[in-house]
Amino acid sequence: NAGVTQTPKFRVLKTGQSMTLLCAQDMNHEYMYWYRQDPGMGLRLIHYSVGEGTTAKGEVPDGYNVSRLKKQNFLLGLESAAPSQTSVYFCASSQTSYEQYFGPGTRLTVT
Amino acid sequence: DAKTTQPNSMESNEEEPVHLPCNHSTISGTDYIHWYRQLPSQGPEYVIHGLTSNVNNRMASLAIAEDRKSSTLILHRATLRDAAVYYCILLKTSYDKVIFGPGTSLSVIP
């Protein structure tokens, strides 16, 4: 099992550009999550999903959209990137609300 | 939402036990206490969780106070690979928004 994978690993965007981050899991988990982590801080939940076709807002959802069209994939979109969105993004999945499995992260820089 | 409080940083000597404290005075009866850790440049990984009783697994032990307002993660013999940020979080049985605070940065001294 690959576990949780994230694509891409690194990305540099200019202000105003758009992009989509892909998270894939092969553990048949129902729950999936997107977090961001800024230097010296803990993780903050952006959006999450409790099943295929569902999404919900987390702690810091503004400026992001998500979709869960397939159970194994959770996409995070930035429609118009801003420098404040420079961060490391982590995806996670879990079968219940308990143990979450995290991906390796995507480092995004917006200039 | 119930919150947790942890020391910003701790140090330990290699091969000695480490006790990482967490205060959660507003914990509710349905909150489970979870611990995750994040090694440098990696995503967090699950360590252990519990509700009321002390718990042990291959990675660590979790000691929960009788009133559940605090808990302690115990690493029995710290190794250099245990140097990480440790997060104490509270989760309910049905999904609730997960809030990771800044955690405790553990340094292990050879």
d(CA A40, CA A70): 34
Cα separation of B14 and A107, whole Å?
32
**Residue B94 has what pLDDT?**
59
User: By CB neighbour count within 10 A (0-12 exposed, 13-18 middle, 19+ buried), where does A12 fall?
Assistant: exposed
pLDDT at A29 over 90: yes
Say if the Cβ atoms of B97 and A43 lie within 8 Å.
no
* Interface test mutation site (partner B, options A25, A45, A99, max chain B beta carbons within 10 A): A99
Rounded Cα gap, residues B62 and B73, in angstroms? 5
Name chain B contacts of A98, Cβ cutoff 8 Å: 32, 34, 49, 91
In this structure, which amino acid lies at residue B97?
Answer: K
At B69, list the tokens: 């307002």
Contact A43 B44 (CB under 8 A): yes
Q: Helix (H, G, I), strand (E, B), or coil: what is residue A83? A: helix
Contact B103 A103 (CB under 8 A): no
Distance from CA of A15 to the nearest CA of B (A): 25
User: A98 and B91: CB-CB below 8 Å?
Assistant: yes
Q: Please, which residues 46-105 of chain A have a Cβ atom closer than 8 Å to chain B?
A: 48, 50, 58-59, 90, 92, 96-105
Segment B39-59 mean pLDDT:
91
pLDDT band at A96 (very low <50, low <70, confident <90, very high): confident
Q: Which of B85, B87, B94, B95 to mutate to test the interface with A (most CBs of A within 10 A)?
A: B95
Long-range contacts of the stretch A10-14 (C-beta < 8 A, 24+): A10/A106, A10/A107, A10/A108, A11/A106, A11/A107, A11/A108, A11/A109, A12/A108, A12/A109, A12/A110, A12/A111, A13/A78, A13/A81, A13/A108, A13/A109, A13/A110, A13/A111, A14/A81, A14/A110, A14/A111
pLDDT band, very low/low/confident/very high, at B3 (cuts 50, 70, 90)? confident
> Which pLDDT value is given to residue B63?
97
* DSSP summary character for residue B81: G
